[in-house]
């Protein structure tokens, strides 16, 4: 397994050679486990608004929330590339605002790169960030910060116009200098076409098997978040049920006097 730190250029160079494995993480303990598993890229997603902070969606997440969690993740990671997800309204007002906020992810959060939602219309912004030394992971398709405009969490690019737009978006993000591109919730054949068109790696989430890599939300993978499981999620563990069982046993043993026993007590 690779032990030298992943960089944005190294991740970019994996296209066509090795599938890129990505997961989200939001805290030190999980970041250590994700990193030790040999995951290439750890995304501190603004999905933490739901998984860690209990919001209904990602829109209330602030820059301070993101920096706090990114710094904890960065302290737990030795080799994965740490990508900080720029939250709603942190890069929308101007390029200057975006550079200052992206810079906070690097300086205060210890991130190696940032992720930005949006396609062709973000080309000047992505270009400016990269020119100023900040690697960018693009994100097109279903972009959760735009759910109010999209009318909910809907698969994108299902019709000819939508598919054409997403292809244009992918080319623009590549042209702007992004090192890789997240494709979220789109038909597999469209994701395959985008993957074959651009030279940067595509990282799919609900975008089928042809992408150059995959990303999932850690809490979905481990069964730690909610009862609803989107179609594209595969649950690799049911930790929620295990935690519930452990806590019920702890409660029962404290109340019955079985805990603490002699092994947990001082003479
Ligand atoms: O916030 C997030 O976790 C994301 C991934 C789902 C791509 O944007």
pLDDT at 229 over 90: no
Residue 31 near residue 83, CB atoms below 8 Å: no
154-189 per-residue burial string, b: 16 or more CB within 10 A, e: under 16:
ebbbeeeebbebbbebbbbbbebbbbbbbbbbbbee
From the alpha carbon of 43, which atom of ligand 1 is closest?
3
Q: Across the chain, what does the average pLDDT equal?
A: 97
pLDDT surpassing 80 at residue 259:
yes
Q: Is residue 121 part of a domain?
A: yes
- In terms of C-beta density within 10 A (0-12 exposed, 13-18 middle, 19 or more buried), how is residue 98 classed? buried
Instruction: Please state the φ and ψ torsions of residue 154, each to the nearest 5 degrees.
Output: -120, 145
Name the percent of the chain lying above pLDDT 90. 97
Give catalytic residues, as residue numbers: 184
- pLDDT at residue 175 in the model: 98
Q: How confident is the model at residue 226 (pLDDT cuts 50, 70, 90)?
A: confident
User: Are both 219 and 172 inside the same structural domain?
Assistant: yes
Query: Could you tell me the CA-to-CA distances from 240 to 26, 75, 127, 160 in Å, in that order?
Result: 17, 25, 42, 41
Give which of 78, 41, 99, 80 is closest to 216, Cα–Cα.
41
Range of the domain at 200: 8-236
Cβ 110 vs Cβ 136: under 8 Å: no
Q: Say which DSSP state 49 is in.
A: H
Assess if residue 1 is contained within a domain. Answer: no
Q: Are residues 70 and 200 in the same domain?
A: yes
C-alpha to C-alpha distance for 62 and 104, rounded to whole angstroms: 12
Residues 126, 251, single domain; the answer is no
Q: Whose CA is nearest to atom 2 of ligand 1?
A: 45
Beta carbons of 32 and 76 less than 8 angstroms apart: yes
Predicted confidence at residue 168, as pLDDT, reads: 98
In a domain, 3, yes or no: no
Q: Is the pLDDT of residue 227 over 80?
A: no
* Residue 199 maps to a domain: yes
CB 145 within 8 Å of CB 188: no
Average pLDDT over residues 38-51: 98
Q: Report in angstroms the alpha-carbon separations of 142 from 206, 222, 234, 247.
A: 9, 23, 19, 37
Would you state the pLDDT for residue 2?
Answer: 75
Same domain flag for 176 and 263 = no
Answer yes or no: do 137 and 149 share one domain.
yes
- In this structure, the answer to whether residues 160 and 256 fall within a common structural domain is no
- Do residue 173 and residue 205 come from a single domain? yes
Note whether residue 2 is domain-resident.
Answer: no
For residue range 102-159, what is the model confidence (pLDDT) as tens digits? 999 999 999 999 999 999 999 999 999 999 999 999 999 999 999 999 999 999 999 9
- Same domain? For 13 and 101 the reply is yes
159 and 101 part of one domain: yes
Of 136, 181, 186, 179, the residue nearest 163 (C-alpha): 186
How many angstroms separate the CA atoms of 41 and 95, rounded? 26
Q: pTM of the prediction? A: 0.97
CA–centroid distance, 66 to ligand 1, in Å, is: 13
Ligand 1 binding residues, C-beta < 6 A: 24, 43, 45-47, 85, 182, 184, 205, 215, 217
The two structure tokens encoding residue 144: 């959760």
pLDDT per residue over 152-185, tens digit each? 999 999 999 999 999 999 999 999 999 999 999 9
Cβ neighbours of 223 (radius 10 Å):
18
**How many angstroms separate the alpha carbon of residue 263 from the centre of ligand 1?**
44
Per-residue pLDDT of 183-215, as tens digits, reads 999 999 999 999 999 999 999 999 999 999 999
What domain count does the chain have? 2
Are 152 and 27 in the same domain? yes
Mean pLDDT of 54-75: 98
Q: Is residue 217 part of a domain?
A: yes
The answer to whether 142 and 153 have CB atoms below 8 angstroms apart is yes
């Amino acid at each position: 397994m690779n032990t030298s730190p992943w960089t944005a250029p190294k991740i970019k160079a994996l296209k066509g050679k090795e599938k890129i494995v990505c997961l989200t993480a939001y805290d030190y303990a999980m970041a250590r486990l994700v990193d030790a598993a040999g995951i290439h890229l750890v995304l501190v997603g603004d999905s933490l608004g739901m998984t860690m902070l209990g919001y209904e969606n990602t829109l209330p997440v602030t820059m301070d929330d993101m920096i706090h969690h990114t710094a904890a993740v960065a302290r737990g990671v030795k080799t994965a590339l740490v990508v900080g997800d720029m939250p709603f309204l942190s890069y929308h007002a101007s390029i200057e605002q975006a550079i200052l906020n992206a810079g906070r992810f690097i300086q205060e959060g210890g991130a190696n790169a940032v992720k930005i939602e949006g396609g062709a219309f973000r080309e000047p912004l992505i270009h400016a960030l990269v020119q100023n030394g900040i690697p960018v992971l693009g994100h097109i398709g279903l972009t959760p910060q735009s759910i109010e405009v999209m009318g909910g969490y809907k698969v994108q690019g299902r019709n000819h116009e939508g598919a054409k737009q997403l292809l244009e978006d992918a080319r623009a993000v590549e042209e702007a200098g992004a090192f890789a591109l997240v494709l979220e919730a789109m038909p597999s054949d469209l994701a395959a076409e985008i993957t074959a068109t651009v030279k940067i790696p595509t990282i799919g989430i609900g975008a089928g098997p042809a992408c150059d890599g995959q990303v999932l939300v850690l809490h979905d993978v481990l069964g730690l978040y909610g009862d609803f499981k989107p179609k594209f999620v595969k649950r690799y563990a049911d930790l929620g049920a295990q935690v519930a069982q452990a806590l019920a046993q702890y409660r029962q043993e404290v109340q019955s006097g079985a805990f603490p026993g002699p092994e947990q007590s001082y003479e």
